[in-house]
Chain A
Amino acid sequence: MANARESRVRWPAFLLVFVLLGITVGSTVGAYRANRLQEGRLLGERASEVALILTDSFSSLQTQLSTMAAETSLNGANRHSFLSAANALAPASAGFETGLAQRDPATGEIRFIVTTGSLTSTPEPVVADLLNRTLRDSAPGVTTAVLSDDRQRSLALALPVGRHDLAIYERLPLDLNAATKALTSGKQFHELRVALYASASRDPSQLLLTTNGSPPQGDSVVMARTRFGADTWLVAVQATSPLTGSFAHQAYWLVLGVGLLVTVLVGFVVVTLLRRRDYAMVLVAERTEALEDSMSELERTQEQLVRSERLAAIGELASVVGHELRNPLGVITNAHYLLRNVLERGQVDPDAARHLSTAEREVGAATLIVGDLLDYARARQPVTSAVDVGDLVTEIESILPAPPGVSVAREEQPDLPAVQADRDQLRQVLLNLLSNAYEAVQANPPARPNGGTVTIRTSATGGKVSIAVADTGIGMDDETRAQVFEPFFSGKTRGTGLGLAVTRRIVDSHGGAIRIDSELGVGSTFTVEFPVAGAGGHASVEGGGVVR
């Protein structure tokens, strides 16, 4: 359960870290590519620049050759004019070897008319190719080639002279070391490795000069081509250190590092927060469980309480039943003993009738007690009809005549409306109140030496009929008054303590009200109110309508 929740909570963290990693890698690659692009662009610019400078350093040779050609042509284009120009412009003492070559129009064969230095009249094939190329080109210009033998390398140049069958030729030795020294001392070259080829491709045989003694190799070589006379030369350039600066060149490492760091930090923070949340959730779950435990514990305790209260109520009931039923049973037992004695004597004794009526009275008392208990235990819904209160009070008085020393008075409002009530239940209410009133008066003989009074008062106001039973009895203190409606509460030594509990329940079930006015030693008044028949929300059905 916990693991499932953990994995459910963790996946956003993994996703976040994954996304951050992606951004980091992407940024790193982007930074790397941008830097390489910039580096390539810079190197390209430098390559063009270097190509111009290098070509320019050979331009004097081209100028010299052009001047020689012009002078030779101007002075008749013969061996004398050539030698005169060659000796002036390219002396053999300076290492130059020169020659004037002519192509045979019939055979196409090229031969030197005149040469200086070690040149022979028949040119070697490479030189012949060079001369052919310069005579063949439609846009004539200087053609070049690098010649090498065992001893040395040299640069050969050729240029047509006026006519299409004459060309001048010049060769000078190439000193790679000297050229290299000159190149590397140049400020433009200090961070470059450069090679110059007298061809359009990187042909090693055509290498004119190079820094560091060997031409640059590898992927990072950038090439630039440039015109030299009728030819295309090539410059190969490689940077010895990043042109964008070593920091910019390595910046992608920084991007990668920072990205990874941020990823790790964010991951750590998120995982920590999620763990805290998990911990909080676990805590909440634990607390909830504890709360539920205590709730169920509380419920158990409450159930036990209810059970023990029920047991206490049963105990109370046992006490009441025990006392109230055993008394009449005791009296009945005594009466039977006495009757048996009478019968054994075989005489018709006037006491026999008295003993029998005693037993009967006690049986009646026991029956009433059982009835009280059953009434209380088995609450019945009222079946109401219109009940004439005056008739009912008269009936009660005949059932329950005033005991000695108690007088009953009636104060009735004329034309009292009927009440909507269950007649049997209303009769029980009035019987309870009247018998309580009698007992209260009887319990207070010292206050009323001439006997007490019970007054039954009836009146009607606002859709209600009030029936008040007032006595001049012992009265009640506040504590007693607060408890009189509790079941099994009794202010008397005899009684189940159910009478007023039942009374109130009946009144409540009729939508009525019950009120007590009492003063200790002066008397009590119990007032009950019942709805007038046909008034208010109560249905008035003659002969029995069910209310509530």
Chain B
Amino acid sequence: MTPHTVLVVDDEAGMRDTLVDILEAAGYDVTPAEDGAIALEMARSHPYDVIVMDIRMPVLNGVEVLASLKSPPPQVVLMTGFAFEEQLEEARAHNAFAIMQKPFQVPHLLQVIAAAAAA
């Protein structure tokens, strides 16, 4: 059985690198992206099963990337340290699979991603 593909999007290198390590250790096929624009391009060229993405990013933020994804979209798990209510509502409106509040517990994130990959 081929592993699920996950795109990890965060402009913050520390978060991005640790997530790549964590998800690879959990058996996913992980690809990192440094910002929203790059992520959107990669998502269009490759059908990822799950996208794990920060909301606050330069160029395109997480909610804007989510809104621009073509159907059928992959499951998107958004992460944020702090987001305005409007952004959260827009994310829900675009069927974000989950919104994770940083800092999150890693086992919880793994559960959410597993659920998203299975969906």
| Residues in A lying within 8 Å of B, measured CB to CB | 318-335, 337-338, 341, 351, 355, 358, 361-362, 443, 492-494
Task: Check if B71 is an interface residue, CB within 8 A of chain A.
Answer: no
Contacts A326-B103, A493-B58 given: A331-B18 contact, CB under 8 Å? yes
In the complex, which residues of chain A have a beta carbon less than 8 angstroms from the beta carbon of B17? 358
Task: Report the Cα distance A331→B22, complex, angstroms.
Answer: 11
Instruction: Tell me if B81 and A334 are in contact (CB < 8 A).
Output: no
Judge whether B14 and A358 touch: CB under 8 Å. yes
Q: Please classify the interface of chain A as helix (H, G, I), strand (E, B), loop, or mixed, using the class held by over half of its residues.
A: helix
Picked from A331, A337, A443, A492, the residue with its CB within 8 Å of the CB of B15 is A331
12 A-B pairs in the complex with CB atoms less than 8 angstroms apart: A318-B82, A319-B82, A322-B82, A323-B80, A327-B15, A329-B102, A331-B15, A334-B15, A334-B22, A335-B18, A338-B25, A493-B56
With CB as the reference atom, state the residue of chain A lying closest to B17. A358
In the complex, chain A residues whose CB is within 8 Å of the CB of B19: 334
CA distance A443 to B11 in the complex (A): 12
Docked complex: B15-36 residues within 8 A CB-CB of A: 15, 17-19, 21-22, 25
Kindly identify, within residues 92 to 119 of chain B, every residue whose CB is under 8 Å from any CB belonging to chain A: 101-106
Tell me the bound Cα distance from A328 to B57 in angstroms. Answer: 15
Which residue on B lies nearest to A358, using beta carbons? Answer: B14
- Cα-based distance from A355 to B17 in the complex (angstroms): 10
- Are B102 and A337 in contact, with the CB atoms below 8 A? no
Chain A nearest CB, measured from B39 CB (Å): 14
Query: Nearest chain-B residue to A365 (Cβ)?
Result: B14
B112 to chain A, nearest CB (A): 14
Whether A323 lies near B22 (C-beta < 8 A) is no
Instruction: Give B residues with C-beta under 8 Å from A.
Output: 11-12, 14-15, 17-19, 21-22, 25, 56-58, 79-82, 84, 101-106
CB distance from B33 to the nearest CB of A (A): 15
In Å, the complex CA distance between A322 and B102 comes to: 9
How far is it, in angstroms, between the C-alpha of A351 and the C-alpha of B104 when the chains are bound?
22
Q: Is the CB of A323 within 8 A of B81?
A: yes
Given the complex of chains A and B, what is the CA–CA distance between A410 and B3 in angstroms? 52
Centre residue among A330, A338, A341, A358 by max chain B CB count within 10 A:
A330
Q: How near does chain A come to B36, taking the closest CB pair, in angstroms? A: 10
Tell me the bound Cα distance from A387 to B88 in angstroms.
50
Q: Report the separation of the CA atoms of residues A322 and B84 in the bound assembly, to the nearest whole angstrom.
A: 11
Min Cβ gap A494→B in Å is 7
Cβ A325 vs Cβ B81 within 8 A: yes
Q: How far is the CB of B98 from chain A (nearest CB, A)?
A: 15
**What is the chain A residue whose CB lies nearest that of B55?**
A323
| Given known contacts A493-B56, A493-B57, A494-B12, A330 and B81 CB-to-CB distance under 8 angstroms | yes
Complex CA gap A405/B12 in Å reads 18
In the complex, which residue of chain A has the Cβ closest to the Cβ of B35? A493
Chain B hits for A337, CB < 8 A: 18, 22, 106
A326's nearest neighbour on chain B, judged by CB, is B81
Whether A361 and B14, one on each chain, are in contact in the complex, defined by CB atoms closer than 8 angstroms, is: yes
Q: How far is the CA of A492 from the CA of B25 in the complex (A)?
A: 32
User: Given A323-B82, A327-B12, A493-B56, do A338 and B103 touch, yes or no (CB 8 Å)?
Assistant: no
Least distance between A493 CB and chain B CB atoms (Å): 5
* Known interface pairs A334-B19, A337-B22, A337-B106; A328-B56 also in contact (CB < 8 Å): no
Inter-chain contact A351/B21, CB cutoff 8 Å: yes
**Chain B, residue nearest A333 (CB):** B103
Residues of A within 8 A of B25 (CB): 338, 341
Contact A338 B22 (CB under 8 A): yes
Question: Which residue of chain B lies nearest to A362 when distances are taken between CB atoms in the complex?
Answer: B14
Beta-carbon contact of A330 and B105 below 8 Å:
no
A366 to chain B: closest CB distance in Å?
11
